[in-house]
Structure 1
């Protein structure tokens, strides 16, 4: 695509007239001849340091801030490259990437919030598919749905623009008409979604998280609310959880922007959860929309999962689907991998769940959800990630101390930190916990100690398939490890039973 098609001519220093742009990169190592390289400053590295490398690899154009333009000698002396100068290069990159890659699915929605994004995005995709729409989702679990997209090594919740808009274009080219995208606080703060044309957006809740990146909780909240204050256009549908502490702020912001507000939950929500009755591993819901009511059987445990399903339903209805049809397919929803996923039972029939809960609020929600299903000891295996918000470690320890009966504190993803330091911070508010440095061993120990009426939650990693250390990432999937430990426990108990029979 020609540079003039990507950006207005007065913002780019022309070289030999207009030039062709062959691709876009934010990593100089990915630059090929004819690429546009965005030299972005980040929390750990400054892209300006890699301009020379990008030029050596054939970059034909650069996107930089005014500060980089002033201070980089390579740019003032280099007339062989076009330079786009923008005071907000990240937002400009998203818009350039959207224009470069082209088509997007006709109906797009985004979901933000501390907890529930992955489930709501996945449920939204499932509902659309059940209604006969060609749909996909993009987020923590990758690109899923009625499509074939090559897997990316980038594992963050919201992909960077050069990947996100490439994926959206590929989906549209394959005939996908509906897409749901997770909008992380990082992705919003870095303007990654600013090239999307959203029909609707949803907010679940805002609780403490990612303060290793954001300056404070208020900055974190503002990043989340950008989805409604800047990304979702006037006239779009703002689906807001009425049970979120920041509901009033989000409602006022959406009202000022001229968006159609759809509130979910609480006594006065547009879409309300009137009652929720547990029936084994299912629940019977009575829901209200306006003056009408529906009764639904949901094959998902926990009130928070019911709320996730209603948030997804509200998004789909806001995009034009008939409520009767939407509520009619909710019973077909299936659990998202690693989200309160039942991975098996011990030989005595005690259930083992794996969940992604890695914030105090999420851990509390999971433990309160499973407690009614546990007649014996509620056991919990968990840890906290390294190089992440350190303040939430004692908070999660306090939640575990309050709500679990047997606690096994172990390693999550230590990354560059000393694992024992992370565990000590958790145990400071969780004195009854056992401090175990081997996650596999902690899971095995917890399973071996379970009685018939006990229940085990393995929290923190959910669907993840690796454990990150300072110098390596080792294969590790809580679900597979738990299944292996359950199999070993079953064999051991069978052998023990056989020995008793022959004695």
Structure 2
């Protein structure tokens, strides 16, 4: 594709030859002969520092800002100058890597994104659509699974994935739109047919600084990506709902609400059972009683969101509701991985924020006849303010708490645990996560429940700069078997 054709309508300017572009790269290591290299400002470094490497690998054009354009042209390479190179790159990627699936749905929020996308994909598939989901646990599509590495992949890979899906005949895709990805414009230029908002609680303040900034990043999905003919699906119970409603009204997009309070898709009743729950939904005024094969109030809410997303994409409610009874849980999301020798269930969950810990424990409490136990820690090099908050929530909602390590990264693990323990009075501290899990399982009586929180689907423990192999589910299964339990 000619460079002039590629940048048409973006506002960017060419300084140099109108070269033919064979591909795009954001990382200089990914440059091949004939590629355009995007030298954009990152969180820690600027891509222009890797200009020489990109040119040596065959870059014929470089997208950058006006301040760095001369560094490009002095190497006799065409410069593409933009006031906002990240947004321009997103537009170029959307244009270069075509086509994309016909129906695109995105979901944002602090918790529930993965479950929402996976449940929506499963509903679509049951209704005969060729569908995919993309997010924290990777890409799941008919005949194709792949670890995409991030909640929202970098902008070039994101569009490559959409193009591959379309070539595979996939017509529907639901993806997670994380706040980092939205703020960094990784999905700028992606026209979204359905945009959903699950909830907003404290997380990523090490990056965003304030809850207002965090919310504003999430809002980009509705302000910029959602089509004017699109549908917004929003949790009407959350504090920020009035602002979302105001935006949707201003843009004149259809709004579908869900939640415990009065809403289009209202959770009227939840009756917990041993391994499932009976949930009554009121959907646009019609009552549906459903046997959900998943436990926890938060799962009922995630499914309510998925109902809205499927309906917003054009599916009929009476067709959607029977699909719910055969939904399968998401790996690492309230996943039953083992049973203790006493028969007590052991769950693994990705809960790693104050709100998520609170939701998981409150969701498990109605299913617990004995003691409710939790094992958790807090990540290093991340918002330290949530550590005592999570400790306090844990001891207030669980009967037995073990504080352990969870991706300490470059921080001293004992210091992280100390900050949690300050507010977790009565908790037990076991730094070694594997030993903590084995100890927790061994302590369970027949009517108890244990949840191992924080990692969910992850397969590593980050210590320093090294990712050590570690899988909560595998460790729990091995511990249970060694203790003569069941996995």
User: How do residues 225-244 of structure 1 correspond to structure 2 at under 5 angstroms?
Assistant: 225-244=219-238
- Quote the offset at 1:93 in angstroms: 1.0
SS in 2 for 1:371: helix
C-alpha contact (below 8 Å) 2:16/2:73 kept by paired residues: no
Tell me whether 6-15 or 309-318 shows the greater mean CA deviation. Answer: 6-15
SS in 2 for 1:411: coil
User: How do residues 51-90 of structure 1 correspond to structure 2 at under 5 angstroms?
Assistant: 51-69=51-69, 73-78=70-75, 80-90=76-86
SS in 2 for 1:384: coil
SS in 1 for 2:144: coil
Quick one: distance in 2 between partners of 1:60 and 1:476? 43
| Residue of 455, 464, 475 corresponding to 1:470 | 464
Tell me whether 371-380 or 295-304 shows the greater mean CA deviation. Answer: 371-380
User: How do residues 92-491 of structure 1 correspond to structure 2 at under 5 angstroms?
Assistant: 92-148=88-144, 151-152=146-147, 154-490=148-484
- Quote the offset at 1:293 in angstroms: 1.5
Aligned residue pairs total 485
Runs of 5+ in structure 2 lacking a partner? none
Tell me whether 191-200 or 175-184 shows the greater mean CA deviation. Answer: 191-200
Deviations for 1:305-328, whole angstroms, at most 9, x for unmatched residues?
011011101111111111100001
Q: What's the TM-score once normalised by structure 1's chain length?
A: 0.94
C-alpha contact (below 8 Å) 2:97/2:159 kept by paired residues: yes
Quick one: distance in 2 between partners of 1:27 and 1:12? 22
- Quote the offset at 1:85 in angstroms: 1.4
1:36 is matched with 36
C-alpha contact (below 8 Å) 1:117/1:204 kept by paired residues: yes
Tell me whether 371-380 or 334-343 shows the greater mean CA deviation. Answer: 371-380
Deviations for 1:139-186, whole angstroms, at most 9, x for unmatched residues?
00111022426x35x511000111100000000000000000100000
Quick one: distance in 1 between partners of 2:460 and 2:337? 18
Deviations for 1:411-446, whole angstroms, at most 9, x for unmatched residues?
111112111111111111112122222100100111
- Quote the offset at 1:373 in angstroms: 1.7
SS in 2 for 1:400: helix
Quick one: distance in 2 between partners of 1:200 and 1:11? 29
Runs of 5+ in structure 1 lacking a partner? 494-503
2:49 is matched with 49
C-alpha contact (below 8 Å) 2:7/2:92 kept by paired residues: yes
Quick one: distance in 1 between partners of 2:23 and 2:409? 32
CA-based RMSD of the aligned residues comes to: 1.6
1:498 is matched with none
- Quote the offset at 1:14 in angstroms: 5.0
